[in-house]
Amino acid sequence: MNKIKYIIVLFIALFTVQTSFSQGCEDPGEGDGINIFGYIQPQYEYNFYGKDGLFNKDVDKSGYYFQRARLGVLGNIPYDFSYYFVMEFSPERGMGINDAFVTYNRFGPYLKVSMGLFKTPFGLEQMTGCHKLTSIYRSHVVDELAGPIRDMGIMFSGGTGEKKLLGMKTKNIFGYQFAIVNGEGRNIQDKDNRRSYIGRLTFHPFEFISLGTSYRYSNFKPFAEGAKKDDYGIRLGYELMLKYKDFKLSGELISGSDVGTIKSGGGCSGLPVTYEEGSVDRSGYYFMVSYKTPWNVEPVIKYEAYDPNLDTEKGKDDAFSTLTFGVNYFFNEWTRLQINYLYNAEEKEKRNDRLVIQVQAVIK
């Protein structure tokens, strides 16, 4: 009954109120034929772990690797269809199909239907193309609560198209995305006949502002044997984007609840393993400010905070925050350099800051 209730509420919201409805990182554009698209992101990372307390040895770690390496094709098919297919070639990301979906566009921009493997429509940062992120990494709360970032399923999306409001043109004043997916993540088949339901709404009255909200309901096979009810999770997000010329401010607040069976005992505790019904609430947010100067240099400041368990006892708080200082340099439209320093702060401070340098080249 709870699942049905949440779905009904979501559909009502969809028809009472997104600036972007593309499931992929790029749009196929106009005309027929194949378009090649991709990008590579070679990266260097230095982790400031300090010194080993026992042997007083430096335990800092560093290395080079590919954050992402993707290549694919996209385009339109006569009549009213488009396709999007991208492969991931980076070992760190897991080589294989990254996106693969077909879209029926006959009733666009008011309604488009896509089926296949695509980004799940939750939040601003998750829906931003990886090669268009202002900071190198997505926020921790987005990684933890908005995903899985990709999944198999069907999606309905649309908007009001280009309209005038108070004499000013804007695209998709109101819009929506609604997806029904397996809920297991990229290229994982659901064998238990359970689904995740995800919706995103945006309000974009003027070019300089966009507001949005996202909702996700997922149910899972119970972790404990003999459990009478499915485990389930709920996610709720709010987003804001302000853009004025080359200045940009964005932020999101995401909360989540997971209800089901909780494991206790075992391991080093010496206690017997037991399972009981329980729940955990999580929450986090971020806000980010950037300004692209006339010299193609873009300073970035980002603050994010995440609490994986809001009910943790006082004094044992596992919440943490990260402050990112960054600078982006754009050599041209296709190539950029990003440098980020991530200062991490926990309840019990420890050495775990990071310096990350990334070079990106877009293949188009």
Domains in the chain with CATH codes: 2-18+50-63+107-363 (2.40.160.10)
Cα separation, 51 vs 58, whole angstroms? 4
| pLDDT for 260 | 80
| pLDDT for 16 | 35
Cα separation, 232 vs 312, whole angstroms? 21
CB neighbourhood size of 361 (10 A): 16
Residue 201 buriedness (CB in 10 A; 0-12 / 13-18 / 19+): buried
Q: Is the pLDDT of residue 2 over 90?
A: no
Better pLDDT: 229 or 300: 300
What does residue 318 show for φ and ψ, rounded to 5 degrees? Answer: -105, 15
> 6-10 long-range contacts, Cβ below 8 Å, gap at least 24?
6/197, 6/215, 6/217, 6/234, 7/197, 7/217, 10/178, 10/197, 10/199, 10/215, 10/217
Give Cα 294 to chain centroid, integer Å.
30
Distances (CA, A) of 143 to 4, 90, 95, 127, 150: 27, 19, 19, 12, 12
Cα separation, 255 vs 250, whole angstroms? 17
pLDDT digits (tens, 9 = 90+) for 119-172: 999 999 999 999 999 999 999 999 999 989 999 999 999 998 877 666 667 788
Q: Which residues pair with 176 in a beta bridge?
A: 158, 201
For the ranges 2-6, 70-74, 212-216, 308-312, the lowest mean pLDDT is seen at: 2-6
For the ranges 2-11, 72-81, 143-152, 244-253, the lowest mean pLDDT is seen at: 2-11
pLDDT digits (tens, 9 = 90+) for 44-101: 999 887 655 444 445 578 899 999 999 999 999 988 999 999 999 998 888 899 999 9
For the ranges 57-71, 229-243, 261-275, 313-327, the lowest mean pLDDT is seen at: 261-275
Better pLDDT: 337 or 273: 337
Cα separation, 119 vs 151, whole angstroms? 7
Work out the percent of the chain whose per-residue pLDDT is above 70.
78
Residue 260 buriedness (CB in 10 A; 0-12 / 13-18 / 19+): buried
What does residue 194 show for φ and ψ, rounded to 5 degrees? Answer: -115, 155
| pLDDT for 30 | 66
